[in-house]
């Protein structure tokens, strides 16, 4: 028994495991890369056993019906034969007895299979479940490691973004102070001569107008969508 079996096997004790190959959710667990030759082989073998079980059950019921029909006909035939049966009646009786014996032999074979097949199906299904649990466990571990890496990256980006936002605010405040100082000392005419285009108040006014325009456009689109739906 492998270490994986030792870890997961106890989890299956006392559990009624659904037939995996008949479960749509089971098929959704695997990507093409994870769908290993071992899993494919076990899936194929399990489906063959299930198909055989279905055939045995169906044919067993049909044989029981046939045997009952033959038994009913024997009763009728025995009444018709009386003490002086004809050769044809004797042949029919012999044929019926032979067919009944064949039915009994076939039913004995099927009864053995009907006992053995569920055991084989359950055993193979449990093995397939163990492999499935191993694949899922490895995938969970891999995803967890990737999540930790992503979370660390996001944390670093957030810290860096926070630093950049603070730096941006500091630069904007400094520019505002410089602009106001130069404007008060040199006046607007002189600042225009030096092509001093940075005007904090004008900049924020333009930004606010742009934001309002975007909001208005979005609201107009929503109104148009609602109108088209109605």
Does residue 23 form part of some domain?
A: no
Domain range spanning residue 176? 165-229
Find out whether 34 and 64 touch, Cβ atoms under 8 Å: no
Q: What is the pLDDT, as a whole number, of residue 29?
A: 82
Alpha-helix runs per DSSP H in the chain = 3-12, 24-28, 37-81, 87-193, 200-229
**Residues 129 and 39 grouped into a single domain:** yes
**Residues 198 and 112 grouped into a single domain:** no
Alpha carbons 146 and 28: distance in angstroms, whole number: 21
**Residues 189 and 153 grouped into a single domain:** no
**Residues 122 and 146 grouped into a single domain:** yes
In the chain the first and final C-alpha atoms are separated, in Å, by 65
**Residues 47 and 107 grouped into a single domain:** yes
pLDDT in tens, 168-202: 999 989 988 888 888 788 877 776 665 555 555 55
Find out whether 57 and 121 touch, Cβ atoms under 8 Å: no
Last residue within a domain, chosen from 138, 158, 178? 158
Alpha carbons 214 and 220: distance in angstroms, whole number: 10
Does residue 22 form part of some domain?
A: no
Last residue within a domain, chosen from 142, 158, 174? 158
Residue 1 has pLDDT above 50, yes or no: no
Q: What is the pLDDT, as a whole number, of residue 101?
A: 94
Tell me which of 39 and 34 has the higher pLDDT. 39
Residue 217 has pLDDT above 80, yes or no: no
């Amino acid at each position: 028994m492998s270490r994986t079996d030792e870890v997961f096997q106890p989890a299956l004790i006392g559990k009624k495991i659904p037939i995996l190959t008949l479960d749509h959710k089971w098929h959704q667990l695997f990507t093409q890369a994870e769908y290993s030759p071992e899993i494919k082989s076990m899936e194929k073998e399990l489906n063959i056993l299930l198909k055989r079980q279905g055939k045995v059950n169906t044919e067993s019921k049909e044989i029981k019906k046939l045997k009952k029909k033959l038994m009913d006909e024997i009763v009728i035939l025995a009444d018709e034969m009386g003490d002086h049966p004809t050769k044809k009646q004797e042949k029919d009786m012999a044929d019926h007895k032979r067919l009944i014996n064949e039915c009994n032999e076939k039913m004995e074979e099927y009864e053995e299979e009907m006992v053995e097949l569920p055991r084989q199906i359950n055993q193979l299904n449990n093995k397939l479940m163990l492999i499935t649990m191993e694949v899922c466990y490895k995938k969970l571990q891999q995803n967890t490691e990737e999540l930790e890496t992503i979370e660390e990256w996001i944390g670093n980006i957030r810290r860096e973004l926070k630093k950049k936002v603070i730096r941006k605010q500091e630069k904007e405040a400094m520019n505002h102070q410089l602009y106001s100082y130069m404007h008060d000392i040199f006046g607007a005419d002189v600042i225009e001569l030096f092509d001093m285009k940075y005007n904090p108040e004008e900049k924020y006014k333009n930004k606010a107008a742009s934001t309002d325009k975007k909001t208005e456009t979005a609201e107009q689109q929503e109104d148009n969508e609602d109108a088209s739906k109605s």
